[in-house]
Structure 1
């Protein structure tokens, strides 16, 4: 009978070309806690615990996916974000910790009865987390992808919140699409350049949706320009604009907003000390 310790060994041997040993151990631990529905402490304490054939099959299935480079969250079908669980799939980005920091920053300025808009919602993690913490706010979210919107709608249902989801392309907005004016606009738009792509792990570049990640090398702020222009007319008086940003383009993003007349522009570092978010006030 295979044991928990056997699984750690098998995963370590099988994933050695993709992840370093510490990452592999963390991944294995997460898979086991999910499939066995137990704590990390219990997994570590009872390494000689035997596994059923069904559990072994599930572990082998997930390992097979991980060996292709598929991210763990896609293999499991979910990701944790801001205390909630979100369904994820290749039509949505995997929510990341730095985006939690962006949400936390925006929530510090959010109040009930505000209109809040999330642009490029993907899995819906930003909009749903904000609504979950500001239940009286009216939260809307737009995305160009029908598949992403369907995932976001299901995530909203599972989290028990109501979001106004809208299919729209921020780079080519149709005049007939009604998008509410807002006190806060927040976005984690595509910002990865082709040069950045060369440095990224293939479990991102090969599996996560390219349309949600990459921008032209010669126009890396294309989405920031479009959203800033939109915000000039769709933010209410004294409204705030929040962005997640490319850490190497903080100054350029700030200059873009200042040139468009935004005030009180502030860049904030994430917990790793990188320039990863920016806030600005409507002129």
Structure 2
């Protein structure tokens, strides 16, 4: 099978499930991963044959995609803030809106700081912050050993120094062992269990539930607990940043105000959705 035939096979297989545009996007990502060739090179050398090994990997990848496995898991990598990150089913796939949270912090930081990221996943947030703020001392915690393994591997691959710890942020004793920080940031689980019915199957079936969902009866669980941690572990004048469920912007703002944070700001993402909150510790 030549390159053109392989590209066409991917599109024809996925188009009924994904639509023409997304099928083409996935086809380009998969073909570049399989061949190491750019889009232009694949056009120029469209008659070049895949090796037998490449054909096997192509078929395996298509089968995974037909089971709604995200393309990032199929190829084992995703991208965030200009960084290529290894990803697997232990970690969420980094989202573009989270890049806006990182950018907000980067724009706010004027001096050397100590930063804590809560819920590292693939390491996307702490690694992007360390890249953009090399003078910062960056720490990151997660409850998942599998996530921490991926995050540490990404840090080593990118040669970025981030201190990773396995901590259950809902365990007060464990989290109190952490040092003081100037900034605490988190993109915690915030999707209510009842929202699953409206989500894409590839997210619900393949991404880690522990990093996605909260019970309907306590949707602000992680904001409340991380807010309490921040009251103890932020230096005076320190800042707390959250990515939030768009449905709870007002509630998260009120929660932080009740906890004693000042200058609480609700920020929208590029799609006009309530997506981020920042508060200052007095």
* Distance in 2 (alpha carbons) for counterparts of 1:210 and 1:225: 20
| Offset at residue 177 of structure 1 (A) | 5.7
SS in 2 for 1:128: helix
| CA-CA distance at 1:49 after TM superposition | 3.8
Q: Deviations over 1:8-44 (max 9, x none)?
A: 3322232244311111110001111222222223334
* Contact 1:115 1:180 (8 Å CA) reproduced: no
* TM-score normalised by structure 2 residue count: 0.95
**8 Å Cα contact 1:29/1:43 also seen in 2:** no
Shift of 1:173: 2.7
Tell me the SS of whatever aligns to 1:86. strand
Structure 1 residue ranges (4+ consecutive) displaced by more than 6 angstroms after TM superposition: none
Deviations for 1:160-190, whole angstroms, at most 9, x for unmatched residues? Answer: 0111111111111325862121111010000
2:239 paired with 1:240: yes
Corresponding residue for residue 190 of structure 2: 191
The answer for the alignment partner of 1:146 in structure 2 is 145
1:78 corresponds in structure 2 to: 77
What residue number does 1:221 align with? 220
- Of the structure 1 ranges 184-193 and 9-18, higher mean CA displacement relative to structure 2 is found in 9-18
User: For residue 277 of structure 1, what is the aligned residue in structure 2?
Assistant: 276
Q: Counterpart of 2:17 in 1: which secondary structure?
A: coil
Distance 1:266 1:41 in 2: 45
Q: Distance in 2 between matches of 1:275 and 1:74?
A: 28
Aligned partner of 2:116 in structure 1 is 117
Kept in 1: contact 2:115–2:136 (CA 8 A): yes
Q: CA RMSD in A?
A: 1.6
Matched residue, 1:201 = 200
Structure 1 or 2: more helix by fraction: 2
Deviations along 1:91-113, one digit per CA (max 9) or x if unpaired, are: 11111111111111111122453
Shift of 1:135: 1.4
Query: CA separation in 1, counterparts of 2:192 and 2:34?
Result: 37
Q: Return the alpha-carbon distance in structure 1 between the equivalents of residues 111 and 75 of structure 2.
A: 35
SS in 2 for 1:100: helix
Residue 262 of structure 1: how far off its partner (Å): 1.1
Write the distance in 1 (CA, Å) between the matches of 2:201 and 2:124.
23
Distance 1:24 1:155, change over 3 A: same
State the partner residue of 2:169. Answer: 170
Q: Are 1:242 and 1:278, in contact at CA under 8 Å, matched by a contact in 2?
A: yes
Q: Is the 8 A contact 2:169 2:175 kept in 1?
A: no
TM-score scaled by length of structure 1 = 0.95
Structure 1 residue 246: Cα displacement: 0.4
Match of 1:135?
Answer: 134
The 3-state SS of whatever aligns with 2:65 is helix
Structure 1 unaligned blocks of 5 or more: none
